[in-house]
Amino acid sequence: MRAVIQRVTKSSVAVNSETTGKIGRGLMVLVGVEDGDTVKDAEYIAEKVAGLRIFEDENDKMNLSVTDVGGEILAVSQFTLLGDVRKGKRPSFTRAARPDEADSLYRKVIEFISSRGINVEEGVFQTHMVVDIQNDGPVTILLDSRKLF
């Protein structure tokens, strides 16, 4: 499972021009589920996202988590995070999980994060979405539950 986490001042997602999720200060999290991922991968990603210390403390040092700053999370499923472009220029998505499996594990990530008392807004699975991200810093972190990077 892969995730791209961006520290944001605000972020939103819309489907057919209708906002489905909107947050203020917090984290924008794009989640890609890989074929073979399990609940353990979802737990790993959720734990890392909830605990990432990428907000500044009183000494301007990245030392606080989204929970510490009372932030929110906007989660969007994004199978293209599994796109492989090592051969050619057109991405191959053969490593992405099938939609039913991906949706189930994406929901687990949201469930695990929410269980920590963090408000999680979200996009709509398997639809065309327009995501507005106001990256703060910019700060962007890449996660892979298989620890490939």
Q: List, by residue number, the catalytic residues.
A: 78-80
64 Cβ contact list (under 8 Å, min separation 6): 53, 55, 56, 57
140 Cβ contact list (under 8 Å, min separation 6): 4, 5, 6, 7
Query: What's the sign of the alpha-carbon dihedral 11, 19, 115, 48?
Result: negative
